[in-house]
Structure 1
Amino acid sequence: MLSCMFNLIYRTPSNLKNDVLSGTTVALALVPEAVAFAFVAGLEPMIGLYAAFMMGLITAVVGGRPGMISGATGATAVVMVGLVALHGVQYLFAAVLLSGLLQILAGVFRLGKYIRMVPHPVMLGFVNGLAIVIFLAQLGQFFINNDVGEKVLMSGPMMYTMLGLIALTMAIIHFLPKLTKAVPSSLVAIVVVTLLVHSLGLDARTVIDFVRDMLPADQAATATLEGTLPTFAIPMVPFTWETLKIILPTALILAAVGLIESLLTLTLIDEITGTRGRGNRECIGQGVANATNGLFGGMGGCAMIGQSMININSGGRGRMSGVTAALVLLAFILFGASLIEIIPLAALVGVMFMVVLGTFEWASLRMFRKIPMSDAFIIVLVSGITVVADLAIAVIVGVIVSALVFAWKHAQHIEAKESVDENGMKIYALRGPLFFGSVSNFKELFTPEEDPEHVVIEFARSRVSDHSGIEALDSLAEKYTALGKTLHIRHLSPECIKLLEKAGDLCEINRLEDPDYHVVSDKLG
């Protein structure tokens, strides 16, 4: 269903020309976000650009999802703020290195498969929430510094120019593919708008203006995006238990947030391209990239849904698109900083606005009347938490709520058909699962005081799913025993019988008919 949110047809094979051109487009869009996220984390711009280069290149080569773009992200940047402020950048590099090693272990132990447990409503909420986050992030480009260094909303001709250039960018991206698909429409839009602004001398903010607005006044005048190759350096921190205690909490959160966002983005791209990535390999790829960042002075990161969607929209399918994006970004840093600094922010905002329109699941708004109220609630909940908190919390909360809703619904499905056989024994033929959610309803099915001397509980069409169910059976057996009555339990698995304490000797074992299944319990662990 996720593939239905996009109007374009993505089931196209990888093409080297498309990969190179789409990768170039992505590189242009990586710069302002990498710089912005570096400032969010309290770091220098070049640390964010290095991260975008290393994350993009290594995950493109080693990762499990061709066509997916990784770089410095806001989701990981907000986690770093406290560590950088309290202990400095070297401790951050150590934490990023450790988070990479943890992600590699997650891939080695094949934990990536658990992303398949994320319910569809949570995925829809994730997609919608990220679309809103991407949109809100672009609104910051409409603010400028006034004479006293305060952020104010632009107005007058500058605002009209900004809006006009954004509209022109979006129009080119929308209409150009109807004429030709020889080149990515996003790349054409950026080039056209850049040439228009500088040939007409329009008053439009550029990438370098954005960088200078974030720097102190004494540094802004000489600010540039030109840099050198990242160099190898082991983080300069003491290798002690005290250091480990400082960086471990941040490393764990970075690893978890990075993997959740990356694997959910991988799943999304799988859906819209009709292909399948390898989650465990992506865990290893993300881990190698982050570990490398920690050793080469980058802030690390994870998959970027916005840039990944730009890549997919532009025709990028293969690993070469990610490699190109990283190498072009490095080329800009080393040789072409002056070219990328003059790109109007309006062009990049227009590209991202088109990503927002393509990413948001508009069909989910019409689905609300057709799907269960609980699913609609989960979609809204995950979207809202993604916007106000972060992705990891949103997904975890969404999965927990989905599990509770599932348990509640299935708790209502347990029932018993009562009958009396020729020997006068009352038989309760159960239907439905016996687990923690249905224990209360299970207990209400029986009337020990009114039942005859011999009672049979038939589990042929029921299963005991966890230890709560075992405890409920023991408690029921104790009630019948206290009344001087005999309880017979049939068709339980040998494992259930082994776990029963008070009712264990009441079970009738029929090896030919009894089922063989396992129960969630610590007693056998």
Structure 2
Amino acid sequence: MFDIITSKESNVKNDVLSGITVALALVPEAVAFAFVAGVEPMIGLYAAFMMGLITSAIGGRPGMISGATGAMAVVMVALVAEHGVQYLFAAVLLAGLLQILCGVFRLGKFIRLVPYPVMLGFVNGLAIVIFLAQLGQFKVTGALGTQEWMSGTMLYIMLGLVALTMAIIYLLPKLTKAVPASLAAIITITLLVHGLDLEARTVIDFVRDMLPVDQRDSATLAGELPTFAIPMVPFNWDTLMIILPTSVILCLVGLIESLLTLTLIDEMTDTRGRGNKECIGQGVANTVNGFFGGMGGCAMIGQSMININSGGRGRLSGITAAVVLLGFILFAAPLIEMIPLAALVGVMFVVVIGTFEWASFRIIRGVNKEDAFVLFLVTAVTVIADLAIAVVVGVIVSALVFAWKAARYVDSKTHIDDDGWKVYELRGPVFFGSVSHFKELFDVANDPEDVVIDFKNSRIWDSSGIDALDGLADKYEQAGKKLHIRHVSQECQSLLNKAGKFVEINVNEDPRYRIATDKLA
């Protein structure tokens, strides 16, 4: 329905206009996540500016937008509540340094190991999370000070403006692509609301609802330039123990979300980002946040999709978004305060429709049940718990599924050779998941005096396979039979205890491979 990819090439006009669109959409997100973390709105806006500027300038994925995010905000809540915002700045600074180390040691490449069903679940889960987050804009503060659902004229106006925003985004590209459809929709709805004096909530209304009653009348998004300051915390071991757990989680959550978003944009734009460079970019940005009073952050999939949808492809789009956001804070706060929330909700609904992998419903019918289960599991955990937890759970379940499948492929083909020896020609991997079936392949009691186990078409993967082969050799030795083991690697032979003496070495034919074991680590 909504074609997210409007252009596959970067140009200055598209990047600048797309950046302006993203800047407008960043404001309510940054403010909302600041309140989630328990800090002032300006700390979230500063984070959006610094994260967006630095990662766009030196990160590994042009066109990707970073800022304050909900996934990281929920991690910060406990630390801020118990120790204060200065400890948060210190934790964000340390998290940034850890992310830089991840990039230096080239750990970003491991994101390529995330299975495709996990990636689909991640995308679908985030689309649902973005959708659910927008529903909060349909609530207002009631007479008792509690949040209530809109009703009556206000609700009808809200729904109408959201529908009109989505219609503009859908129809305008069919007429012209000179201006990003999302930007045109936001400007049109803003002019319509204020020109006709419609009863519609604006960005400043959203900010006021999140402030204490005595601060609502003075609410504003106007601010100053962020200033350098070393976090005001004691520099000792106790402080490190307080912030380290939070910093490690922030580091991992930030990198997982950023690298998965990078992979998603790679697929959508048919280009390739640099994961390790993005780790360093995220780390530098969070380190700067710690020194300049920002709450830190990571890649934002919603804003990144807005940027891609609006034609932003180059670094200039993210830099423009950050600079324009800062310009709004310093010089033009009233302009962003008057933007109707309905326009921003409509833009995000389009992002949801374009982000969700609708093809996954067709894919489910064509794949095995295990992959379908992983897809649904990751989607559900992303919605219910957290993105990082969902990805870790998905990878673990996928690994277990793989191990279960691989375990079933171990078998042997037997025959009696010219010397009357029984030969077991093994096929498939021998590892912790397959050792039980491996042991069942042999008939120690009824085998002849000489038995050959040929690993030419098999591999021993780990120490469980080594132990299984040692145990088998012990059984044959106790039965008074001679065992001949062929085509194992030199490393495998060195790890064998009882079975090592039965290995027949063939320098020309023996394979070379490594064993996953702590003995040689």
Q: Is the 8 A contact 1:10 1:272 kept in 2?
A: no
1:56 to 2:57 alignment: no
Residue 18 of structure 2: aligned partner: 22
1:261 to 2:221 alignment: no
Q: 1:188-213 CA distances to partner (integer Å, 9 max, x unpaired)?
A: 00000000000111000000000000
Counterpart code for 2:131? F
Residue 312 of structure 1: aligned partner: 308
Q: Percent identity?
A: 74
Specify which of 197, 206, 210 is matched with residue 210 of structure 1: 206
Q: CA deviation at 1:456?
A: 0.7
1:437 to 2:433 alignment: yes
Specify which of 98, 102, 107 is matched with residue 111 of structure 1: 107
Q: Is the 8 A contact 2:157 2:200 kept in 1?
A: yes
Q: 1:415-451 CA distances to partner (integer Å, 9 max, x unpaired)?
A: 1111112222111110111111111110110111111
Which residues of 2 match residues 236-385 of structure 1 at below 5 A? Answer: 236-385=232-381
Which residues of 2 match residues 159-178 of structure 1 at below 5 A? Answer: 159-178=155-174
Question: Aligned pairs, how many?
Answer: 521
> Distance in 2 between the 1:395 and 1:418 partners?
43
Q: 1:107-141 CA distances to partner (integer Å, 9 max, x unpaired)?
A: 00000000000011111000000000000000000
Counterpart code for 1:461? N
Residue 413 of structure 2: aligned partner: 417
Gaps of 5+ in 2: none
Q: Residue 488 of structure 1 aligns to a residue in which SS? A: strand
Specify which of 141, 145, 163 is matched with residue 145 of structure 1: 141
> Distance in 1 between the 2:143 and 2:252 partners?
42
Residues 307, 371 of structure 1: CA spacing in aligned structure 2 closer, same or farther, 3 A cutoff?
A: same
Question: Comparing 434-443 with 292-301, which one deviates more in the overlay?
Answer: 434-443
Gaps of 5+ in 1: none
Question: Comparing 483-492 with 39-48, which one deviates more in the overlay?
Answer: 483-492
Q: CA deviation at 1:518?
A: 1.0
Coordinate RMSD, CA, aligned: 0.9
Counterpart code for 1:483? A
Q: Is the 8 A contact 1:411 1:441 kept in 2?
A: yes
1:469 to 2:465 alignment: yes
- Point out 4+ residue stretches in structure 1 off by more than 4 angstroms: none
Residues 8, 215 of structure 1: CA spacing in aligned structure 2 closer, same or farther, 3 A cutoff?
A: closer
> Distance in 1 between the 2:2 and 2:277 partners?
27
1:504 to 2:521 alignment: no
Q: 1:224-254 CA distances to partner (integer Å, 9 max, x unpaired)?
A: 0000000000000000000000000000000
Counterpart code for 2:516? V
> Distance in 2 between the 1:152 and 1:11 partners?
41
Counterpart code for 1:425? W
Residues 11, 386 of structure 1: CA spacing in aligned structure 2 closer, same or farther, 3 A cutoff?
A: same
Specify which of 383, 387, 405 is matched with residue 383 of structure 2: 387
Residue 403 of structure 1: aligned partner: 399
Q: Residue 369 of structure 1 aligns to a residue in which SS? A: helix
**TM-score for the superposition, normalised by structure 1:** 0.98
Which residues of 2 match residues 117-128 of structure 1 at below 5 A? Answer: 117-128=113-124
> Distance in 2 between the 1:514 and 1:7 partners?
55
Q: CA deviation at 1:452?
A: 1.4
Specify which of 176, 182, 188 is matched with residue 184 of structure 2: 188
Q: CA deviation at 1:11?
A: 5.3
Q: Is the 8 A contact 1:11 1:274 kept in 2?
A: no
Residue 485 of structure 1: aligned partner: 481
> Distance in 2 between the 1:228 and 1:421 partners?
86
1:449 to 2:440 alignment: no
Counterpart code for 2:34? A
Specify which of 55, 80, 92 is matched with residue 76 of structure 2: 80
Residue 85 of structure 2: aligned partner: 89
Q: 1:137-156 CA distances to partner (integer Å, 9 max, x unpaired)?
A: 00000111111210100100
Q: Is the 8 A contact 2:5 2:309 kept in 1?
A: no
